[in-house]
Amino acid sequence: MAMASLSQANYKAWAGAPSNNEKFINMYTSRICGYHKETGFSTSAMSDALLHEISHGKPHTFDYAYAGRQLENKIKPGDVDVRELMNLSKGREFVDRSSNLMGAHIGELFKPGVNIRNPAATNADSIMMTTSLLDQLATNKAGFQSNVAKLRQMLSEAGPGRIAQPVLLNVI
């Protein structure tokens, strides 16, 4: 459920205008407040949500696939399932369009004549997770190394196939 939405048309108008009165992002306050509580009042989770939205602006990302935040585990609210981000980075033939982690733009990858070489490079949650991991490298190196080890293990286990199991990273 979206907590905010960015209008790319309004963003372009705002970025190119001499004044800064144009509004390009809508925040859904009640959802943001609920999410903040569900994630154990995590500022990291809130930052990730904002990173996602703002990446729809200048980097002009799309919503092909999402990371799935695991909200049912209140003890570890930072757990995020990145399996569909990994499948997206392996290529569109590894994407399961019926997954509940697919985004609104996933159909764009499968239109006739479309062959986006690296869809993960323009996927909002992929940019968000990469940024979050780079921050973790600077602030919690042991956590970063544990996450990278998990990514390598899951890639290795999947071999040439799709990654079907949840890949849980913790970036808090």
Site residues, Zn ion (CB under 5 A): 63, 124
> Three-state DSSP class for 79?
strand
Could you give the count of Cα atoms lying within 13 Å of 52 in the half-sphere of its Cβ? 21
Q: How far apart are the first and last CA of the chain?
A: 21
CB-closest chain residue to Zn ion:
63
Q: Which residues of 10-38 are buried (b: 16+ CB within 10 A; e: fewer)?
A: ebeebeeeeeeeeebbeeeeeeeeebbee
Question: Cα–chain-centroid distance for residue 44?
Answer: 13
If the CB atoms of residues 64 and 144 are measured against Zn ion, the closer one turns out to be 64
If the CB atoms of residues 24 and 144 are measured against Zn ion, the closer one turns out to be 24
Cross-strand pairs, 69: 80
If the CB atoms of residues 53 and 79 are measured against Zn ion, the closer one turns out to be 53
If the CB atoms of residues 95 and 154 are measured against Zn ion, the closer one turns out to be 95
Residue 3: CB minimum distance to Zn ion, A: 10
Residue 56: CB minimum distance to Zn ion, A: 6
If the CB atoms of residues 22 and 63 are measured against Zn ion, the closer one turns out to be 63
Q: What is the DSSP letter of 123?
A: B
Residue 158: CB minimum distance to Zn ion, A: 26
Yes or no: say if 133 and 171 are a contact pair by the CB < 8 Å rule.
yes
Residue 61: CB minimum distance to Zn ion, A: 7
Residue 28: CB minimum distance to Zn ion, A: 13
